[in-house]
Amino acid sequence: MIKDKEVVLSGIRPTGNLHLGNYYGALSKFVRLQETHDCLFFIADLHALTTNTDPDELHRNVKSILAEYLAAGIDPDKVSIFVQSDVPELSELYLLLNMHVGIGELMRTASFKDKARQCLGLSRENCSDSDDESIEKEIIGASTNKRVCAGLLTYPTLMAVDILAQKARWVPVGKDQLQHLELTRRFARRFNQFYGVEEFIEPDNFEFGDAPVKVPGLDGSGKMGKSEGNCIYLVDDPKVLRKKVMRAVTDEGPKEPNSPLSEPIANLFTLMELTSDPAVVQQFRDAYADCSIRYGDLKKQLAEDILKVTTPIRERINDILADDDYMRRVLARGADRARQQASQTLAEVRHIMGIRKI
Ligand code: TYM
């Protein structure tokens, strides 16, 4: 098959094992795209530093994400896999692009407000989304031991650099990353207009004809996320996974035919739509509509269908983790390729911005 020349790039932070949100929002798309596009997939260790301060844990997580990438079917003979910090050109580009990024626009980013709140130990309730002023006050007035690090604020600049450095056209990510992609497009456009150049390509999210994915958690509300404690991990063994699914929050069941779905039940159906056969999903939807549904049956089915997806991945991970040489070779090759394009982009950007030899 002839590959599309358009570049695809995406990354995942090494902050723990990958969960179903990472899988359906990102990883499963990576595996499909590698067949048709020119792809680079990386491990965003510098981004992980914005929230992770344990060096040994970070190192362990980089290895486990790499093993999970490979176990899920990313083929290093078809794509480049690299660690972000192995491409030092990105750090200089990050410094340069930051000269064109406003502090205000970064402070208004939803993920920044969320993470800043977490750093300061504030709950959503006493600091609502619309209440920008109160969160700004908290950030500025925070004591030094509860500070919000500057790296968290400039997170979107680094993410934009990851993408723009490789001239990527497509960025497969989950719904939660769309605001960061919007900022990337804005920064690219601003840079091009400011200098009157066509240096950067404006990237888009990649979906296979579906709407952007937001995988819900098992706790009845919100998205699946490491910091939410509501995850099913690709490495969960069958016993753990079944237990998690059986404990998922539900409601008291439909009282009348064709009742609307409550949020916890809608979430279970969303998970089922991702993992189960459409005919099976329909069967449970019909049972809900005529009030004959038994949530225990639905959960049992869901757990088995999730296991069909995760088991082959889980079974390959340990073999890969045991082979350091192989992992090193994969990353060295990936870094070489990523550095080639990044150093070219850096040379162009330096020149455009006036950093030139006398
Ligand atoms: P991270 O590590 O938070 O998440 C990695 C990918 O998983 C997706 N994801 C989800 N998708 C659907 N439902 C969920 N519950 C869910 N949870 C996570 C995320 O959307 C993401 O695609 N900023 C990025 C890492 C990054 C990056 C980049 C991505 C750094 N530079 C450049 C693309 C291009 C992040 O935080 O990923």
DSSP 185-238: HHHHHHHHHHHT----PPPEE--SSSPPP--B-SSSSSB--GGGT---BTT--H
Q: Which of 130, 177, 167, 123 is closest to 13 using CA atoms?
A: 177
Looking from the CA of residue 216, the nearest atom of ligand 1 is: 15
* Most informative mutation of 7, 9, 18, 22 for ligand 1 (most atoms within 8 A of CB): 22
Name the phi and psi angles at 58, rounded to 5. -60, -45
**183: CA distance to ligand 1 center in Å?**
15
pLDDT tens digits along 266-322: 999 999 999 999 999 999 999 999 999 999 999 999 999 999 999 999 999 999 999
pLDDT value, residue 1? 64
Residue 221's pLDDT is 79
Q: Is the CB of 203 under 6 A from ligand 1?
A: no
The distance of Cα 107 from the centroid of its chain, to the nearest Å, equals 20
* DSSP one-letter string for 56-103: HHHHHHHHHHHHHHHHTT--TTTSEEEEGGG-THHHHHHHHHGGG--H
pLDDT at 129 over 90: no
Question: What pTM, to 2 d.p., does this model score?
Answer: 0.95
Percent of the chain beyond pLDDT 90? 84
HSE-CB of 347 using CA atoms within 13 angstroms? 5
Amino acid at 97: L
Instruction: Give the number of the atom of ligand 1 that is nearest the alpha carbon of residue 224.
Output: 15
By the 8 A CB rule, do 49 and 14 touch? no
Choose which residue among 43, 52, 176 to substitute to test ligand 1 binding: the one with the highest number of ligand atoms within 8 A of its C-beta: 176
**320 dihedral zone (left: phi>0; alpha: psi -120 to 50; beta):** alpha
Q: Please count the helices (runs of H) and the strands (runs of E) in the chain.
A: 16, 5
- DSSP string across 226-290: GGGT---BTT--HHHHHHHHHT----S--SSTTPPPPHHHHHHHHHHHHHS-HHHHHHHHHHHHT
80 strand-pairing partners? 40
- How many A from CA of 26 to the centre of ligand 1? 7
Instruction: Please tell me the predicted confidence (pLDDT) of residue 4.
Output: 73
Closest CA to 86 of 331, 284, 326, 323: 331
Catalytic residue flag (residue 214): no
- CA 319 – ligand 1 centroid, Å: 26
Ligand 1 centroid to Cα of residue 283, in Å, is 32
Tokens (6 digits) for 56: 């040994």
313 three-class SS: helix
Q: Please write the tens of the pLDDT for every residue from 220-231.
A: 878 999 877 899
- pLDDT band for 127, please (50, 70, 90 cuts): low
The band of 85, judged by pLDDT with boundaries at 50, 70 and 90, is very high
Q: Which atom of ligand 1 is nearest to the CA of 212?
A: 12
Mean pLDDT of the chain, nearest integer: 94
Per-residue pLDDT of 24-63, as tens digits, reads 999 999 999 999 999 999 999 999 999 978 999 999 999 9
Catalytic residue (choose from 63, 214, 226, 300): 226
Q: Residue 124 has what pLDDT?
A: 65
- Can you tell me which atom of ligand 1 is nearest the CA of 175? 20
- 167 classed as catalytic: no
Please determine, for residue 133, whether its predicted confidence score (pLDDT) is greater than 80: no
Q: What's the confidence (pLDDT) of residue 266?
A: 97
Local structure of residue 19 (DSSP, 8 states)? B
pLDDT per residue over 239-268, tens digit each?
999 999 999 999 999 999 999 999 999 999
- Total count of residues recorded for the chain: 358
* 50 in contact with ligand 1, CB cutoff 6 A: no
Tell me if 44 CB under 6 Å of ligand 1.
Answer: yes
223 is catalytic: yes
**What's the pLDDT at 168?**
98
pLDDT in tens, 141-181: 777 778 889 999 999 999 999 999 999 999 999 999 999 99
Burial of 311: CB neighbours in 10 Å, binned 0-12, 13-18, 19+: middle
